[in-house]
Amino acid sequence: MLRDLAPSTPFQRIDHVALAMPRGKSDEARAFYVDVLGLTEQPKPTELLDRGGLWLRSGDVMVHLGVDDDFRAATKAHPAFRCADYEALLQRVRARGGQIVEDDSLFDEKPHCYIADPFGNRIELIKQ
């Protein structure tokens, strides 16, 4: 049974998505998230630099990659990104040898698929 929602919505948007990555793999992360997906690396606060990882952004979409010394890929839980140029993005993924798992069902009447980052984290791509 669903509970009644509060009269006002408590959240307006997601601030960022945090994904884990193995230590020492920042170059691989940049090659994927910047070169393939097209996110822009953002400077991390000075006090967080020693932790490793990357902060990335595309418009209001922010992804924080944090180093986890006991890293395990998120193969079910995942962020889902709406893509302005879905077909071009899939071409870049394929050109870099990435595997695309198409989903024949539509998401909000739009095509979507799943890919994995270099560390095995699942990512959903949805056509805008």
List, for residues 38-50, the tens digit of each pLDDT value. Answer: 999 999 999 999 9
φ, ψ (nearest 5 deg) of residue 57: -150, 150
Q: What is the pTM of this model?
A: 0.89
**Domain 17-127 carries which CATH code?**
3.10.180.10
pLDDT of residue 13: 87
**Burial class (CB within 10 angstroms; exposed 0-12, middle 13-18, buried 19+) of 75:** exposed
Q: Strands, DSSP E only, in the chain?
A: 17-21, 40-42, 54-58, 61-67, 80-83, 101-107, 110-116, 122-127
Residue 112's alpha-carbon distances to 46, 78, 82, 101, in angstroms, are 37, 13, 9, 9
Ranges of residues in the chain whose predicted pLDDT is under 70: 1-7
- The span from the CA of 105 to the CA of 40, in Å, is 31
